[in-house]
Each structure stands twice: as structure tokens, then as C-alpha cells.
Amino acid sequence: MRLVLLTVVVILPTTVQGVSLEEIEKKRCFNLVREGGRIICILTGHGDYGSFNGGNCSLLCKDQNFSEKLPDGECSTVGLGCNQTVIEKLEHWKSKLNKWLKDVRNMVCTASGTNPIRPRVTKGLRG
């Protein structure tokens, strides 16, 4: 009886936490792919992010006319498993994409005479 209690109290939570951590990491990887994919699709004029193909490690935009492969070194494990190393690579990739997005916004806002931090407020139809 004590052995059963020991198993339930000590071993079961460890197993559950291990599985949960793995699932959390996997979700984190796919969230980073989705977030980076949104930036790529929007900046290339292909709408929003659509889906991720783990087989060829590419993301597809919603308009189905544009796909982009993830950078080298990330593809080999994203579809098979996700760990802290892959998460760090994807975070770096997404950080570079965010910088690209910020630079484009600044360029567009400078050209249009608006402040990228405080966008111009326009009056609605009712004034």
C-alpha cells in the first residue's frame, strides 16, 4: 500500500510535469512560427499567416500564394520535437522579423509624415 502511495505522490506528478513541459515547449515553438509567419505574410503583401507544414518546414500565408521556409537549423527539429535550443533560435528569428517590421513602419511613417509611436488620429464619418 505504501508503495502505491509513493508512486502516486512522487512519480505520477513528475511524469505529468514532464509531459506538460514538453507540450508547453512544442506550443511555444509553433506560436513563434505563427507570430513570425504573420510578420512575413503581412510585410510581403500576402495577408495573414495561414499554416505551417512540418514536412518541408515552411509556412504558408492565408492567400495560399506565398510560402517561406524557416531559417536553417530550425527545420530539422520543429516538426519532430521542440526543445529550449529550438525555442531560442525561433525567438532570435522572430526578433529579427520584429526589427524588420519596426523599420518598415518607421520608413512608411516618415514618408507619410506621421509619428510611428503615436499614429495620426483621423476624424470618423460623423466628425
Query: pLDDT band at 124, cuts 50/70/90?
Result: very low
What number of residues does the chain have? 127
In a domain, 63, yes or no: yes
Q: Express each pLDDT in 13-65 by its tens digit.
A: 545 555 567 778 888 988 999 999 999 999 999 989 999 888 888 899 998 88
In a domain, 88, yes or no: yes
- Write out the residue range of the structural domain in which residue 38 sits: 25-110
Number of domains in the chain: 1
Cα-Cα-Cα-Cα dihedral sign, residues 38, 57, 99, 32: positive
In a domain, 82, yes or no: yes
In a domain, 121, yes or no: no
Residue 123 has pLDDT above 90, yes or no: no
In a domain, 36, yes or no: yes
In a domain, 31, yes or no: yes
Q: Express each pLDDT in 86-111 by its tens digit.
A: 889 999 999 999 999 999 888 888 88
Model pTM greater than 0.85?
no
In a domain, 19, yes or no: no
In a domain, 3, yes or no: no
For the stretch 50-63, what's the b/e string if a residue is b when 16 or more beta carbons lie within 10 angstroms of its beta carbon? bebeeeebbbbbee
Query: pLDDT band at 70, cuts 50/70/90?
Result: confident
Q: Report how far apart, in Å, the C-alpha atoms of 101 and of each of 35, 58, 64, 106 are.
A: 12, 20, 21, 9
Q: Exposed, middle or buried by CB within 10 Å (0-12, 13-18, 19+), for 20?
A: exposed
DSSP label of 11? I
Nearest Cα neighbor of 74 from 102, 96, 101 is: 96
